[in-house]
Structure 1
Amino acid sequence: MAFNIISVVFISSLLVLQSPYFASSQSFIGVNYGQLANNLPAPAETAQLLQSTTIGKVRLYDADVAIIKSLANTGRGIVIGVANGEIPGLASDPNVAGQWVGSNVLPFYPASKIEVVTVGNEVLTSQDEGLISQLLPAMQNVQNALNAAYLRGKVKVSTVHSMAVLGNSDPPSLTSFKSSYSDTMRALLQFQRATGSPLMINPYPFFAYKSDPRPETLAFCLFQPNAGRVDSASGIKYMNMFDAQVDAVRSALNSMGFKEIEIVVAETGWAYKGDPNEVGPSVDNAKAYNGNLINHLRSNVGTPLMPGKSVDTYIFALYDENLKPGPGSEHAFGLFKQDLSMTYDVGLLKSSQTPAPKTGVWCVPKPGVFDAQLQSNIDYVCGQGLDCSPIQAGGACYEPATKQAHAAYAMNLYYQNAGKNPWNCDFEKTATLSSTNPSYNGCTYPGGY
């Protein structure tokens, strides 16, 4: 099957090993704070909520003064936005840009840690040629206004793109920007290279699965065990959609000669409910995607083309937005409810970062699973760099040399290292949690009391 990150003919994914949680905020984990709702908590309540989490950054779609002020002295990085409708005025008159910066940045910086101003959202794919032609002049005028306020290099200017700015996406290593956008994109990137601002992109494995709703696609999108997909040009095996999409953007930047420009994921997320005819929205899927994404980011493993560093990622969204147009899923991306309780727990609260009490729980195969599936589970786990030597010839757990016994050890090894969450013991519905210690003789299963 061909790679196709945009039209989405992808399959399966991996749960990345979870590194230790930290009680402080984490700069690479952000959240989108949309306001298309009539039932949102007060900004001060939201600021207090964010202080109780490890979310390190907040992205606004506009420059709401009350919210910016409420985030003062919280240590959270802030992205504020220029709406598409404001672009023509900013592009045509430098004084308008100066007034915008004077009203929305200067009164609050540096107590409110404004880091980026995004000029427009998905402008290139809006099909509005006038707006597209005005995007770069607007960005330049905002940057000049920031420079005049002695904020050069302190507050960056960028814009946000959809994945549709990419052309070919098969394979990821040979991805490039669509030819129809190439001149505009090159000019934008030249400006961004000169100012040190990041390319901001909106990858959504959620929409990938909606376009190709097969079990193997879902596993690939949710960072769950799967066979992976091999990039035919580079030979890289991708184990999840997120990495493949981000690396496709990396390849497009590299092919245009902008290897030094960093990538920021401005939006990604998964709906927890939707209309009856929608494929993909559910609490289990949303919890798996966002929880596993956060674990992936915390691992600092990076992507195959950008190893050893997590891409700054803003999860969509902080709250549901009941006034958004579109299908029911558009109203159900919130990590938190309007009463500030969690919609579902993905380990973002500081209180959940303390070590959990040790309990006797192990992950083992369900009865009746075929050997072929058990072998697939073994291959997956041992391909992730975990120590499978105990179930290799001569190892303490090699005997009995059965698929059932070896798979039980491997699957539990994965569960214990990947976060000990229920979704870490799934293996395409072939695993279950057990309170019975499967260790025997000299074979000790990780976990337990």
Structure 2
Amino acid sequence: MAEENPKLSPSLLLFAALQLFFFFFFSASSQSFIGVNYGEVADNLPPPSTTANLLQSTSISKVRLYGADPAILRALSGTGVGVFIGVSNGEIPSLASDPAVANRWIASNVLPFLPSTNILLISVGNEVLTSGDPTLPSQLLPAMQNLHSALLSVPGADQIKISTVHSMAVLGQSEPPSSGAFQASLADTLKGLLGFLESTGSPFAVNPYPYFAYGSDTRPETLAFCLFQPNQGRFDPGSRITYMNMFDAQVDAVRSALNGLGGKDVEIVVAETGWPYKGDPNEVGATVENAKAYNGGLVSHLRSMVGTPLMPGKSVDTYFFALYDEDLKPGPASERSFGLYRLDGTMNYDIGLARSVQAVPAGPSLPSSAKKPTGYCVPRPGVSDAQLQANLDYACAQGIDCTQIQPGGSCYLPNTVASHAAYAMNLFYQKSAKNPGNCDFRQTAALVLGNPSAWVDCLVHCALCGACQTLLHGVLLMCAVAAYI
């Protein structure tokens, strides 16, 4: 094979990969789509200044508060962290009935902290339409309008958006995603809200939780679908799309519902999502392993920038629940066990949020007894992008270093699912002591055995990076097939 491809020398390929690295290293963009919920239903939280320092050590770029705690807003001053603050449900009636109350709310909770604190969005209430209070839905839009008018009257505050956060229960239909529709009883209220959101450029905020979906269907295949693990997917006959994870399915159900009610131009923000790491004995699925798989898989999925099937090519702004455990929250044990971080600032489990200090992330470690690996894990020909994306999400959620295939990474180009999946699948295999069972991915991967001299050196140097995948794609597929003949 080497003689048939004389131009594919290792030095040439490595040079091309290095050129790609330096170009994208200096044009890297921040991960503005990763946020976290900072709840305060606790009596043991670290000081806000400590939390501000913690956030700056991570790739978390946004924080959602359920109120407008002045101590936290002051602590976030000058950090650049975007802040999503909230109005309580109990404040809605007075804000709706009197514009002066809205003016005072903005004067007290927003203006003292501008511009040094980066306030982006205000949620008027939380899950108001499904709260069980029949008096609030009709007052929600007037409250939002009054707060918006108050912001417009103040120079420098007019860019802050007004929205409200919804639970998934506002949907009357969510499966399959293409049939997503709001509850008929909420349609009139939601039409008014969507008109406001569209006219002000504000997002529709929603709280999708695959954890709760799994609680109502505890089959193993449902768990894999929820945790970004390899699975057979779920086919949507309406869109002809096969969904490979529950998060995409839930978000796209909301997208379909918005489109059906005239909100095609309204963007979606995921205001809450997460997975508890422990629960009561009857809370199936609340384990550290599952929490790490879901949250880590979602981080990898967002970083891939693949988007959802109905909103491709852009990651939805997503706020993970939650920054810390909240020990005073009522309800089952899981409600007090969503925290990503312990009170001392260490992670309950690692999902790759620490800000990297390596300019060039290390490739896979090689056995000391050999300079070159004896095999590579590559996608089989004909595997769909949906399945490859699921493989990519799963591999990166297992603790391997996928920073090279993120924007700014040396192997980000070509920016295709196939290229990124090939990198991640092989790195997962290499890091797992080359166990053949870790190069299966539900029979969508194959081991390339032997030592094809035309391309092995490049693969050793860049660990199946995107540049090598493109230049050597034909050779790679030939070798993958040959390994099984």
TM-score bracket for this pair, using the shorter chain length: 0.7 to 0.9
Q: Does residue 442 of the first structure (1) align with residue 452 of the second (2)?
A: yes
TM-score with structure 2 length normalisation?
0.74
What is the RMSD of the two structures over their aligned residues, measured on CA atoms?
A: 3.4
Superposition deviation, residue 167 in structure 1? 1.1
Question: Which has more helix, going by share of residues?
Answer: 2
Corresponding position of 2:388: 384
Determine if the alignment matches structure 1 residue 179 to structure 2 residue 184: yes
Which amino acid is the alignment partner of residue 384 of structure 1?
L
Provide the rounded CA distance (Å) in 1 between the counterparts of 2:228 and 2:25.
Answer: 19
Match of 1:268 among 251, 269, 273: 273
Q: 1:209 aligns with which of 206, 210, 214?
A: 214
Query: Do the aligned residues in 2 keep the contact of 1:90 with 1:141 (CA within 8 Å)?
Result: yes
For residues 167-198 of structure 1, give each alpha carbon's deviation from its aligned partner in whole angstroms, at most 9, with x where no partner exists.
Answer: 12232112111101000000111111111110
For the 8 Å contact 2:244–2:390, the answer to whether it is kept is: no
Structure 1 residue 127: deviation in Å?
Answer: 2.1
Q: Which has the larger radius of gyration?
A: 2
Return the offset for 1:330: 0.8
Q: Which amino acid aligns with 1:300?
A: M
1:360 alignment partner in structure 2: 366
Aligned twin of 2:301: 296
Give the match's secondary structure for 1:167: strand
Three-state SS of the structure 2 residue aligned to 1:348 is coil
Q: Tell me if structure 1 keeps the 8 A contact 2:243–2:386.
A: no
Identify if the C-alpha distance between structure 1 residues 447 and 441 changes in structure 2 by more than 3 Å, giving closer, same or farther.
closer
Specify which of 244, 249, 252 is matched with residue 254 of structure 2: 249
Instruction: Please report how far the alpha carbon of residue 376 of structure 1 lies from its aligned counterpart in structure 2 after TM superposition.
Output: 11
Deviates more, 1:40-49 or 1:164-173: 164-173
Deviation (angstroms), 1:382: 9.4
- Counterpart CA distance in 2 for 1:383 and 1:311 is 20
Match of 1:431 in 2: 438
Q: Is the 8 A contact 1:363 1:415 kept in 2?
A: no
TM-score for the superposition, normalised by structure 1: 0.80
User: Can you give the 5+ residue segments of structure 1 that lack an aligned partner in the other structure?
Assistant: 1-18, 366-374, 388-412
Q: Distance in 1 between matches of 2:97 and 2:349?
A: 46
Conserved 8 A contact 2:230-2:390: no
**3-state SS in 2 of match to 1:159:** strand
Deviation string for 1:246-290 (max 9, x for gaps)?
111111111111111000000001111111221111111111111
Mapped to 2, the partners of 1:21 and 1:317 lie a distance apart of 32
Amino acid at match of 2:37: N
Q: What corresponds to 2:31 in structure 1?
A: 26
Give the aligned partner of residue 283 of structure 1. Answer: 288
Identify the residue that residue 134 of structure 2 maps to in structure 1.
Answer: 129
- Determine the C-alpha separation between the residues in 2 that align with 1:149 and 1:197: 18
Q: 2:74 — aligned with what?
A: 69
Check conservation: 1:81, 1:120, Cα contact below 8 A: yes
Letter in 1 for 2:276: A
Q: Which deviations, in whole Å up to 9, do the C-alpha atoms of 1:210-258 show, x marking residues without a partner?
A: 1111111011001111101111111011000011111111111111111
Aligned equivalent of 2:10: none
**Structure 2 counterparts to residues 28-43 of structure 1, below 5 A:** 28-43=33-48
1:229 equivalenced with 2:239 (yes/no): no
Task: Please tell me the residue identity of whatever aligns with 2:256.
Answer: S
Candidates 323, 327, 330, aligned match of 2:332: 327
SS at match of 1:357: coil
1:157 Cα deviation (Å)?
0.4
Asked whether 1:159 is paired with 2:164, we answer: yes
What SS does structure 2 have at the residue aligned with 1:252? helix
In structure 2, distance between residues paired with 1:386 and 1:54: 23
- Output the CA distance in 2 between the equivalents of 1:439 and 1:117: 56
Say whether the 8 Å CA contact 1:37–1:322 is kept in structure 2. Answer: yes
**CA distance in structure 2 between the partners assigned to 1:223 and 1:312 by the alignment:** 18
Q: CA deviation at 1:324?
A: 0.7
Contact 2:280-2:333 within 8 A present in 1 as well: yes
Counterpart position of 2:154: 149
Identity %: 58
Partner of 1:139 in structure 2? 144
Q: How far off is 1:153 after superposition? A: 4.5
- What residue in structure 2 maps to residue 46 of structure 1? 51
1:360 partner amino acid: L
The superposition leaves residues 12-42 of structure 1 with CA deviations (integer Å, 9 ceiling, x where unpaired) of: xxxxxxx999997521100000011111100
Relative distance call for 1:106 and 1:168 in structure 2 (3 A) is: same
Task: State the aligned residue count.
Answer: 394
When residues 36 and 421 of structure 1 are mapped into structure 2, their CA distance, relative to the original with a 3 A threshold, is farther
Partner of 2:243: 238
1:38 counterpart SS class: coil
2:136 counterpart SS class: helix
CA contact 1:23–1:350 (8 Å) conserved in 2: no
Task: Deviation per CA, 1:327-385: give whole Å up to 9, x if none.
Answer: 111111111100111111111111376554330389999xxxxxxxxx99995799428
**Which shifted more, 110-119 or 345-354?**
345-354
Is 2:98 the partner of 1:55?
Answer: no
User: Shift of residue 431 of structure 1?
Assistant: 3.2
Matched, 1:312 2:317: yes
Task: Determine if contact 1:23/1:54 at 8 Å carries over to the other structure.
Answer: no
CA gap 1:240/1:206 in 2 versus in 1, 3 angstroms = same
Aligned runs of 1:184-199 on 2, under 5 Å?
A: 184-199=189-204
Supply the distance in 2 between the matched residues of 1:363 and 1:251 (Cα, whole angstroms).
Answer: 48
Q: CA separation of 1:380/1:216 partners in 2, compared to 1, >3 Å: closer, same or farther?
A: farther
Instruction: Letter of the 1:440 partner, please give it.
Output: G
| Closer, same or farther: CA 447–46 of 1 in aligned 2, 3 Å | farther
- Using the TM superposition, give the Cα deviation of residue 417 of structure 1 relative to its aligned residue in structure 2, in angstroms: 1.6
| Mapped partners of 2:210, 2:366: distance in 1 | 34
CA contact (8 A) 2:76 2:117 kept: yes
Distance 1:132 1:27 in 2: 31
| Alpha-carbon shift at residue 439 of structure 1 (Å) | 3.6
Question: 1:24·1:350 contact (CA, 8 Å) conserved in 2?
Answer: no
SS in 2 for 1:160: strand
